[in-house]
Every structure is written in C-alpha cells, then in structure tokens.
Amino acid sequence: MATIDVETVGTTRSQIFKKIIQLTLIFLAVFSVSCLISFAGGRYRLSKQNPKQQVTVTEEAPAPTEEGEQPAASQPYDPEKVIYLTFDDGPWKYTEQLLDLLKKYDAKVTFFTTSTYPEYAELMKREDEEGHTVAVHSYSHDYKKIYASSSAYWSDFEAQQKVIEEQTGKKTTIFRFPGGSSNGVSNFNPGIMTTLSQQAKAKGLSYFDWNVASADAGATTEADVVLQNCKTGVQNIKDPVILCHDVKDYTVKAMETFIPWAIENGYTFLPLTPDSPNAHHKVNN
Ligand SMILES: [Zn+2]
C-alpha cells in the first residue's frame, strides 16, 4: 500500500507541474499577441495622425527641398552642408585613383575636362557612369588660341563637346572658361569674356566659376595646404564650389583626407547641374 501511495502522489505532482507549464505558456502567448496588437495600433495611429512624424521616426525618406523637389543624393542630406568639388584639366594619370576614392565614399563631383591627354579620354565614360558630371573645360586649353575670337572659342568648345559625347553618349550644357570668367589671360582681346559669357547664355549653356580655391594651380604643391584651403573654404562659404585639378598628385592626396573629414562633419558631395549655384566671378574683360 505504501508503494502505491508514493506512486499516486508522484503522478499527481507531475500532473500539477505539467499544468503549471501549460498555463505559463498560454499566458506568454496571450501576452505576446496583445503586445503586438498594441504596438501595431500605435504605429497606425501615429501614421494617421501625423504622417510627417512617421517620416522622422523612420528617417528613410530624403529631406524635401523648399520647392518640394526630390534632392539628387540617394541618402538624406543637409542642404546647408553641400560641397561642389570640381576638377579641371583632366583626365590624366591621377584621375583613376581619384575615381576610386570618390567611389569608396560615394562622393559625386564635377570634371571640367580637356583633351590635353587624349589617351585618357576613356575615363570620361567611367566618370559619367559613376554619377559625376562630365563638363567642358577646353579641347586645347591654349589661351592664345581660344580667346583669339569668339568663333575660335566655340570651335574649341565643340571639339571637346564631341569628345564627351563620344565617351558618354550625351552632350553637356555645363562648362568652365579656362582661367575662369574673370581671367586676365584674354586681355590681348578686349571684351572677349563679356561677349563669350553673353553668347553662352544665348546658347542655353551654364558656365561655372568657383568660390573656394584649393590653390593647387600654382600657389602650392603641398597636399596639406590644399587640404587646409578646402576645409577653411567649406566652413566659411555657403554653397562652396571648390576649384581643384585632377592633374595634380598632391590634390588627389589631399582628397584622401578631405573627403572623409567632410563626410564625418555632415557634408555631402554633389555634382553640378545647370541649376546649381554657379559661383560667378565678375567678368573683367
Ligand atoms: Zn584649366
């Protein structure tokens, strides 16, 4: 009898234990479902009451501009902290290294191209494919030749436009005058820059100067100086359009530090479009 009693008690305990486990599992299941319903309901009410607030919560939608246009960048960015990096006179032997760097940081820039080194022309195709703006600088970059007359200028322009079209399959409406619109190198032909800047407008073309000089066109050959000029410029100038040259190894070296520094500090690199700030200089000739 004593043996039977022990077995009976053991069986009862085991059944109670099973019941407790079952009840606990049921309670956990009910609790989880009610939590899910409550969370989903909250999200639904949030989106119904204040759609903008939901955008803030998800932080996935790019910030709309004042006009309601979608920005060009694939990620949200601060429109107050955009940098327009521009590289003149290439492509050349340092351009590929620069393109690799830009790709690494998803930075988009503008190349004002020449045909000084025609064996590197194919890099324009890569520039275009990777989201940069490929624009006209000059076919010959020969000041005496291009500023001799307006017809000489536009024939040089069209020659470079043709190279760009061959490489990218499209024409550009963006260009930069060799020496900038304020240049003094054209003084041998009085009034030529005034004429050319007016003709550009009539042709539906947009020329761009710059408001930050990296000083890599002769004032320095030091990467650290180029870097410092870029850092100072973007902190002091609104809508900075930075003049650089991808035919200078020290400029590409400076970019290795400048680009990650700018991104860490909340800046975004965008390519120029016809609507971008043009940083026009005063035409002096
Ligand atoms: Zn140039």
The structural domain count of the chain equals 2
Q: Calculate how far, in angstroms, residue 124's C-alpha sits from the geometric centre of ligand 1.
A: 16
Rounded CA separation 243/41 (Å): 53
Q: Calculate how far, in angstroms, residue 94's C-alpha sits from the geometric centre of ligand 1.
A: 16
Rounded CA separation 155/96 (Å): 28
Q: Residues 46, 149: one domain?
A: no
Q: Calculate how far, in angstroms, residue 233's C-alpha sits from the geometric centre of ligand 1.
A: 20
Give the number of other CB atoms < 10 A from CB of residue 138: 26
Predicted model pTM: 0.75
The answer on pLDDT for 226 being more than 90 is yes
Rounded CA separation 5/3 (Å): 5
Q: Residues 145, 83: one domain?
A: yes
Q: If you ran DSSP here, which 8-state letter would residue 61 be given?
A: S
The answer on pLDDT for 30 being more than 50 is yes
Among 246, 255, 240, CA closest to 210: 240
For the stretch 150-169, pLDDT in tens is 999 999 999 999 999 999 99
pLDDT, residue 19, reads: 72
Q: Residues 43, 93: one domain?
A: no
What is the domain range of residue 227? 79-269
DSSP-derived secondary structure for 94-144: THHHHHHHHHHHT---EEEEESSSGGGTTHHHHHHHTT-EEEEEESS--HH
Q: Residues 49, 98: one domain?
A: no
pLDDT, residue 75, reads: 73
Q: Compute the mean pLDDT over every residue in the chain, rounded to the nearest whole number.
A: 85
CATH of the domain at 173: 3.20.20.370
Q: Residues 137, 234: one domain?
A: yes
Q: Residues 50, 118: one domain?
A: no
Q: What are phi and psi of 110, to 5 degrees?
A: -125, 135
Whole-number Cα distances in Å, 123 to 126, 175, 183, 196: 5, 18, 28, 29
Q: Calculate how far, in angstroms, residue 69's C-alpha sits from the geometric centre of ligand 1.
A: 33
Which of 66-75, 76-85, 136-145, 156-165 comes out lowest in average pLDDT? 66-75
Contacts of 71 (CB under 8 A, 6+ apart): 62, 63, 64, 65, 77, 79
